[in-house]
């Protein structure tokens, strides 16, 4: 398949992941953190591992080992920091009832996040199909717990179930739009610069948003489980890089 087909299929598949949020309806509040937090640890490890073991090496191979690559990484970190500061962007993996952001704000920030993610994944497919697949998998690992958390908060904040699901899916449709934009830009600009930019996004989400969530549980046994899931995410992404 060509890059465009991969981008379209990957974009629609990522949008479909928003439907997994409906699983939050089946999870009692008291069990929510027990199920989601290990997924958050795994997602944090996958995001960090994807950035360190796949996206940064590919960025250096495509753009050269120069300061500009790491400047793009820094810009990716800064952009997501600014989004979080000024939009009060929370990834909402915490138990229900704690620091609920406004539903529309969640959807707006999630839509922007998905758009940037779509541009990054689309760019990765243009650079190399294998890199695109790995980048998509890493992004998907983060989307599953995020969509469950976002959908759960919308419902518990009084949203109608059908409306919450519909709006959540609508915000996810910005992902394929971003991917198609990357494909359109490919002949006009060097989209390879978006790979280190996306790596900075992934690093920020992993270290600033997800890992702090894993410190909220005081139980030592849970901390061990969460840390093991985080290490597992790193290990899996390292292993994929080692064999490809």
Confidence of residue 237 (pLDDT cuts 50, 70, 90): confident
What's the rounded mean pLDDT across residues 194-210? 84
Residue 204's domain comprises 3-21+32-242
- Structural domain contains residue 64: yes
Kindly give the residue spans of alpha helices, DSSP state H, lying in the chain: 3-16, 29-50, 56-63, 67-87, 103-127, 129-156, 161-172, 174-185, 194-204, 211-213, 220-243
The number of domains in the chain is 1
Burial label for 72, CB within 10 Å (0-12, 13-18, 19+), is: buried
User: Of 189 and 234, which is predicted with more confidence?
Assistant: 234
Structure tokens at 185: 């830009």
CB 96 within 8 A of CB 156: yes
What's the rounded mean pLDDT across residues 145-168? 70
Q: Report CA torsion sign: 7, 200, 49, 174.
A: negative
Buried b (16+ CB within 10 A) or exposed e, 74-83: eebbeebeeb
- Structural domain contains residue 69: yes
What's the rounded mean pLDDT across residues 75-92? 72
- Structural domain contains residue 237: yes
Which range has the worst mean pLDDT, 9-18, 30-39, 162-171, 183-192? 30-39
- Structural domain contains residue 103: yes
Residue range 90-139, pLDDT digits in tens: 444 444 444 344 456 667 667 777 887 888 889 889 888 988 998 898 88
Task: Please provide the DSSP assignment of 95-120 as one string.
Answer: PTTSSPPPHHHHHHHHHHHHHHHHHH
- Structural domain contains residue 27: no
User: Of 234 and 161, which is predicted with more confidence?
Assistant: 234
User: Of 25 and 116, which is predicted with more confidence?
Assistant: 116
C-alpha dist (Å) from residue 190 to 9, 44, 123, 182, 210? 23, 29, 9, 10, 31
User: Of 156 and 163, which is predicted with more confidence?
Assistant: 163
């Amino acid at each position: 398949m060509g890059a465009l087909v991969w981008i379209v299929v990957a974009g629609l598949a990522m949008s479909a992941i928003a439907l997994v949020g409906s699983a939050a309806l089946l999870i009692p509040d008291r069990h929510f953190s027990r199920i989601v937090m290990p997924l958050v640890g795994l997602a944090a490890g996958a995001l960090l591992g994807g950035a360190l073991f796949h996206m940064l090496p590919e960025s250096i191979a495509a753009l050269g080992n120069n300061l500009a690559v790491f400047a793009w990484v820094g810009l990716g970190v800064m952009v997501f920091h600014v989004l979080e500061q000024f939009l009060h962007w929370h990834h909402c993996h915490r138990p229900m009832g704690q620091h609920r952001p406004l539903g529309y704000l969640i959807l707006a920030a999630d839509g922007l996040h998905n758009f940037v993610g779509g541009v990054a994944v689309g760019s990765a497919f243009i650079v190399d199909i294998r890199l695109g697949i790995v980048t998509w998998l890493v992004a998907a690992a983060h989307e599953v717990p995020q969509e469950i958390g976002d959908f759960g908060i919308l419902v518990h904040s009084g949203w109608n179930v059908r409306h919450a699901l519909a709006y959540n899916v609508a915000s996810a449709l910005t992902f394929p739009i971003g991917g198609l934009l990357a494909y359109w830009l490919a002949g006009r600009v060097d989209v390879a610069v978006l790979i280190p930019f996306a790596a900075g996004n992934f690093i920020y989400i992993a270290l600033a948003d997800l890992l702090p969530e894993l410190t909220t549980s005081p139980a030592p046994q849970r901390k061990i489980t969460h840390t093991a899931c985080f290490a597992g995410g790193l290990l899996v992404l390292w292993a994929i890089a080692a064999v490809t």
